Amino acid sequence: MLTDLLTADVIRLHVGCDSWREAVKSGTDLLVNKNCVEPRYQQAIVANHETLGPYMVIAPGIMLAHARPEDGVKTLAMSLVTLKEPIAFGNKTNDPVKLLITLAAPNRNSHLTALSQLMELLMNAEDIRSIMDATKKEAVLAI
């Protein structure tokens, strides 16, 4: 369930970042600190972005950062970071990014329920705007 994955300890709001790499690191650091992924998971996300382009920028202002299970995933996990200032990731249609969700899935199936719930949330423009503007984690958790 999405509510089981997105808890206060994996949410950071209004994070100041100077680059897209730093923004990715802010999301993966939360999962590293919780021992859900290895530090190399962040490097894999960056490498995917550099190799395959900004496909992870899935909607206007939203990035779903991820890599493969074998890139250092220990357990199913997700983090949510809002950026103080939006950052360009190179996606002409959906830049700049304000909301970064990092997903770590240990296999092909364990994340599907949470991902489905996340997609439902992302389709609600009012909720997404509220998350992007939130100053307290409790407000995000309530949504």
> Catalytic residue positions?
66
Residue 1 has pLDDT above 80, yes or no: no
| pLDDT at position 82 | 97
Report the predicted TM-score, pTM, of the whole model to 2 decimal places.
0.92
| pLDDT at position 110 | 64
* Reduced 3-state DSSP string for the chain: CHHHHCCHHHEEEEECCCCHHHHHHHHHHHHHHCCCECCHHHHHHHHHHHHHCCCCEEECCEEEECCCHHHCECCCEEEEEEEEEEECCCCCCCCCEEEEEEEECCCCCCCHHHHHHHHHHHCCHHHHHHHHHCCCHHHHHHC
Residue 47 has pLDDT above 70, yes or no: yes
The whole-chain average pLDDT of the chain stands at 93
**Mean pLDDT to the nearest integer, 110-125:** 78
